[in-house]
Structure 1
Amino acid sequence: MSNRNSQAAKSAARERIRAEREREKKRAKLRRQLVVAGGVLGVLVIAGGIGYGVMKANEPTGWEAAKEAKLVEPAHTQGKNGTEILIGDKKAKDTLEVFEDVRCPACAAFEQSTGKVLQKDIEDGRYKVRFTMYAFIDDMGGGEGSKNALSALGAALDKSPEAFLHYKEALYSLKNHPEESVDTYAKDSALLKVAEQVPELKGDKEFQQAVEKGTYDRWAMEMAGLFGRKGVKGTPTFMHGDKKLEMAQIPQQQMTQAQYNKLAQANFKKMIDGEFGPAKK
């Protein structure tokens, strides 16, 4: 081989080696880029997973979520978001406003002793009644019974005003009403058990489904949001227009249930007669 050919061969060999080294450098660089990209993607996936997890964890649940649920207004309601429950003869000149909380023991005492008198006045057309139902005991004492019972009352009201009144009466009854500190009505099963005692609701599958699905949960939250309306923050409270009606207190003394009921009814009738005039015979 000539010297010139030998030099050319060596030069070509060096060029192949250089080219191979360049290719290897490019492959190594590409591998590093892929590793980094994979790591970044992994971080993004993890970060995305964490972000999604945090987002899900921060999503409202239970009754907080009910505030954002679809609003279904029960039949026989009116006003903003269906929060005006007005029951009675539309021709009745006067409207008595009654403020209650289903878990309220004083409300239960009123309903057990005097609820029938109130219902008779409604039936007789003496006045209409606007019911404003609160759920402040849930907030004060913890629990969900007031809101859950209120949602069930919405399902009853959707059936008829009579179903609402009779179901409310059953929920407040001596037989069913729990101690204020016991959150019995937080359970749908307890509410449905009481409903079986109400002729208008007994065996009603639509009512049962509405209670179990929470159809009127959002409505119940809207109703509960009326807390403080007209300055009322305690229950039971009775108002005529902007006037708060005062009922005489029952003396703290030993008496039978019948004696208590008689006094309570007399005090209620006296308060109503004083505001609306004597009942027509």
Structure 2
Amino acid sequence: MTEPVTAAAQAPGTTTGTTAPRPTDAVIRIRDLGKSFDGRRVLDDVSLDVPRGRIVSIIGQSGGGKTTLLRCVNLLERPDTGTIEVAGETVHSDGRIVCRDLARLRRTVGMVFQRFHLFPHLTAVENVMLAQVKAGVPERQALERAVVLLRRVGLAHRGLAHPDQMSGGEQQRVAIARALALKPEVLLFDEPTSSLDPEATREVLWVMRELAEEGMTMMLVTHELPFAREVSDWVAFVDGGRIIEAGPPAEVLGRPQQARTRAFLTTYESAE
């Protein structure tokens, strides 16, 4: 497998992931990304590639910069430094947003949020239709695609339900269907199961596993380490705004080289 991270993405002494992919391999290419909030460095010279058809999982403690990294990809957060390329187009360079069409960027890079963000006054099918209609898709065609996508996530029978009539797991699956509606090239997932109970978590992970098997390119922030081990092609451990260690899941989660990674995994195992 082509390795989706460069040597620049690693802390000194890291031995995994020393080969950069060919330019045509990467849907997302991040180089030397930096971001601060109120003088606090949240991302520090982060470099990472996400090749087409691959799944890259970002793990680490809360507050380590994982979500900020994800939100920088589709410019929900504006980086201070570094370069981001999406589908071969530079969208950010050294503190400047150079993307001329943010709406198109966010159609290319779909995002599934931790808290669903469904419109409460719309039904499930209307939530999935909305972005399509705003993008100029005829209403009938948008309805047909919404029904297909709700069936795909196991919710064909809930199309007329409003968010407050659905469980958390159902709402998150509607959010996934909505993210798929505009046929993105890559999906970003920000802790998609963190607010769900175990049963709902299994439902959402089932959908994500199906997407993985279909070859969807995904970049996900997750605390579900067994799931990350199962579906990921690459895992990056982020701590203090830096990628401390990155590599295949069997190496990072099974045979970590860095002491900080080992300490994190020990803490996770103790909490289980």
TM bucket (normalised to shorter chain) is under 0.3
Which structure has more relative contact order (CA 8 Å, sep 6+)? It is: 2
Q: Which has the larger radius of gyration?
A: 1
More helix, by proportion: 1
More strand, by proportion: 2
Normalised to the residue count of structure 2, the TM-score between the two structures is: 0.26
